[in-house]
Chain A
Amino acid sequence: MSDTIATVRAVYDAMNTRDFAVFDRLYAPDVTFNGAPSSPEVIRQYCSAYLQAFPDLDLTVEHAISDGTWVAARVVARGTHTADLEGIPATGRSIEVAQHDLVRVTDGRLTDCWTVFDQFAMLQQLGVLPAGQPA
């Protein structure tokens, strides 16, 4: 039970310490992401994009439970937007956004990941939606 949570915590730790060697090892080669086939490489690229946009990105696990296979975690992501994010130029603003993950751990590796984070709150905190008057 607890070692599945430890595995998942290790992923967040690897993110926080930017230790991609560990990060890659923790994902199964045929991992699925939000129901679609993926790979450690693809997930790392996805995470890297956010790490570049928020170089001080920090993930805090507020709560995690496990049924022995599936781990559910409530996470808070904090960071400062100092570089381009998927085409959104740096705003210099800080974010604090909720993220909820549900992952399956098999033989010490993540095989299936479901993740949602509050994209809308992030966009609001970044102030990227204008007030509605033409520039």
Chain B
Amino acid sequence: MASGGELAGEEAMRRGAWAEAAAAFREAVETAPTPRALDGLGRASWWLGDVDAAVTHRGHAFDAYRRVDDDAAAARIAFWLSREFRLVVGNPAAANGWFARGDELVEALPDGAAHGWRHLARSDRSMDPAARERHAEEALAVARRWHDGDLEVYALAARGLARVTSGWIDRGITDLDAAVASAIQAAEPETVGDVLCSLMAAVELVGDASRFAQWNDVLEQYMLSQPHVRLTGFCFTCCGEVFVVNGRWKDAEQQFVAAIDMLEQTGHRSRCAHPVTRLAHLRIRQGRLEEAEALLEEFVDLPEAVEPTAALRLAQGQPTGAIRVLERRLAAIGTDTLLAVPLLTLLGDAQLAAGDLVGAAATAELLAAMADRSDLARVRGLQTLLQGRIAARGDEGTALRLLDTALGAFQEAAMPLEVAATHWALARLAADAGDIDTATEEGRVALGRFRELGATRSSDEVAAFLRELGVRVQSGTRAEGLLTHREQEVLDLVIAGMTNTEIAARLFISPKTAGNHVSNVLAKLGVRSRTEAAARVLKQRGT
């Protein structure tokens, strides 16, 4: 028999009233620390964002379930604890320990859903997408045999994400579609959270949110009907990366900064990629290398830091350093997955920069294989851009055809930085062939695109190229009249009513530097106060 407190707590959980649920469960625990009350308190704490309390309470729930010989329930908690310790707390020893305890309990249990939860935990722990898919498949079979709806949704999402990771996009999306459909119909709120997380990760891997457009309305409806489920809180990093790919760098920056804030407040690890590494890579694309280097300093050991670290080395003119870190990481994750695509792209660029055409051509072959399998315009574009740049070393006709293909693919995939980079490659190709008119035209397009994005180093490079061709180019990147991009950013924050300290925190600069920027902005606008600046600008923008 469940106590009144337990029932009240569970009812509140279904409504998403986490604080109310936590209070009810706490009361129930004080009356009698039953496994069900402890587990409820742990789950409610987790939704309230207190992972440490959740881990403690569910740890007690594990002991309590063991005492009443409900080993299936205990094992499921052990697998959950293992995952939280690994992903969020960052304690692999504890994570392994909890997995081993769950594993041992399930081993002794007769056939049942618990075996499926163990398959799911194995899938989750594996690095190899093929193994993840295999374990998820077994979990799915168990879920269907024992009619465990939640397990079925988790397993479908896990299999779908694994398939997408391996480049089997259509089959993977079919699984994810099925998972989201069933999750929204029934299931615990945790299940919905997990599925959405998998969906976001898949969007990031595919690099094209439009492939998932059919879910936008459904998800929006779901969020509106259950406004308490603030699931996007988990997804800042992945969300942000999709914005980067699609050229919405300001939105991306906001997502990363929000995610970094959240991690700093809780002291936890990021669930997927650490947002600092993502912000660092964005800074490199923006040409702000010193800031990127400072951001990466503390995080170089994270696997997700490999990509920005390599990009930084390459931007600093050290291609062999970039090749070294990329090859090491690729040896660990394999080249046969979508996860490898950004690394292979950088590797090809670095090999070209180091003069290793054979290596670059081999890298392009790997990208071609993934483009064939996934049929993603993004990957096809990256492959043909690299091949076009190789061909540009001696075969103009082939280079032109390849770069045209790349351009079409990047436009289809809505990747403005790569569109700009392809125009830039076309400009240099034309210049090498002595076709100054085409070089000028392509260079101008590239310059415009790079400036729109705020990719300052690239736009400076193209501007210098155009000047060398005798083209008059407005110097520097200017917005709001005379402001630099950085000053423009500062101005936007001033208008938002932020203090120098807040601006400093947002832009990862010292308060003194923020103060200097603000003074320069006020001087350039010819105003005496922040309020006057805001009034002037808002009036000019017609807001």
Q: Which residues of A contact B (CB under 8 A)?
A: 85-89, 119-124, 128-135
| Contacts A87-B365, A124-B394 known; 13 new A-B pairs at CB < 8 A | A87-B363, A89-B365, A119-B358, A122-B358, A123-B358, A123-B361, A129-B361, A129-B387, A129-B395, A129-B402, A131-B401, A134-B384, A134-B409
B positions within 8 Å CB-CB of A: 356-359, 361-366, 368, 371-372, 380, 384, 387-388, 390-391, 393-395, 398, 400-405, 409
- Chain B hits for A88, CB < 8 A: 358, 361-362, 365
Contact A132 B395 (CB under 8 A): no
CB distance from A33 to the nearest CB of B (A): 13
Give A101 Cβ to nearest chain B Cβ, in Å. Answer: 16
Cβ of B404 and Cβ of A128 under 8 Å apart?
A: no
B384 touches A85 (CB 8 A): no
- Contact present for B366 and A132 (CB under 8 Å): no
A129 near B391 with CB under 8 A, answer: yes
B405→A135 contact, CB < 8 A: no
Contact between A133 and B405, CB atoms less than 8 A apart: yes
Residues in chain B near residue A122, CB distance under 8 A: 358
Task: State the main secondary structure of chain B at its contact with A.
Answer: helix
Bound CA–CA A89/B391 (angstroms):
19
Most buried by A among B361, B368, B409: B361
Alpha-carbon distance between A100 and B415 when the two chains are bound, in angstroms: 41
- Shortest C-beta distance, A49 to chain B (Å), equals 10
Question: Would you call the interface of chain A mostly helix, strand, loop, or mixed?
Answer: loop
Please, which residues of chain B bring their CB within 8 A of the CB of A87?
Answer: 362-363, 365-366
Bound: A135/B394 CA distance, A: 23
A115 CB → nearest B CB, Å: 12
In Å, the complex CA distance between A121 and B357 comes to 10
**25 A-B contacts (beta carbon < 8 Å):** A85-B362, A86-B359, A87-B362, A87-B363, A88-B365, A89-B365, A119-B356, A120-B357, A120-B394, A122-B358, A123-B358, A124-B394, A128-B365, A129-B390, A129-B391, A129-B395, A129-B402, A131-B398, A131-B401, A132-B402, A132-B404, A132-B405, A133-B401, A133-B405, A135-B371
**A88 CA to B390 CA in the complex, in Å?**
14
Q: How far is the CA of A88 from the CA of B384 in the complex (A)?
A: 16
Contact residues in A for B402 (Cβ distance below 8 Å): 129-130, 132
CB contacts (< 8 Å) of A133 on chain B: these are 401, 405
Q: Which residues of A contact B362 (CB under 8 A)?
A: 85-88
Residues of B within 8 A of A130 (CB): 368, 387, 402
A123 to B356, CA, bound (A): 11
Evaluate contact between B401 and A132: CB separation under 8 angstroms: yes
Instruction: Name the one of B363, B390, B405 contacting A134, with C-beta atoms under 8 angstroms.
Output: B405
A65 to B383, CA, bound (A): 42
**5 shortest A-B CB distances, which residue pairs?**
A132-B401, A87-B362, A119-B357, A132-B402, A120-B394
Complex partner residue of B358 from A85, A131, A132, A135, CB under 8 angstroms: A85
CB-defined contacts of B404 to chain A, threshold 8 Å: 132
